[in-house]
Amino acid sequence: YNWVNIVATVGSFISAFSGCFFVFILWESIVNRNEVLGSYGSSGYFIDFLMSPVACHNDYFCYPYTIDYTYGVYYMRWVDDCTYV
């Protein structure tokens, strides 16, 4: 089982090196005051920061309409391709 010990030792050295390198990258970017070159869209939209679609909540951020919560049971359905009722 000596080979298992060698593999674990090499893996731990790789993990330690990558952790130190990550801290160095963070430190270097803070010292040099690096800025983000781009993002996934305008920073004014909250939905741009989500990496995957959120079930049923994507419409709340995308479509300009008001929701009436006065009904006993909240229920909405599509009338056509772009209208909720």
Domain locations along the chain: 2-84
Locate all alpha helices (DSSP H) within the chain, ordered by sequence.
2-31, 58-62
Contact at 8 Å (CB) between 84 and 76? yes
For 2-59, the pLDDT digits (tens) are 999 999 999 999 999 999 999 999 999 889 887 766 555 555 555 555 555 555 554 5
For 52-79, the pLDDT digits (tens) are 555 555 455 555 555 555 554 455 555 5
Separation of alpha carbons 65 and 78, rounded Å: 13
Nearest to 32 by CA among 24, 44, 43: 24
Helix (H, G, I), strand (E, B), or coil: what is residue 13? Answer: helix
Torsion angle of C-alpha atoms 22, 25, 31, 32, degrees rounded to 10: -160
pLDDT score, position 14: 97
Single-letter amino acid code for the residue at 77: R
pTM: 0.42
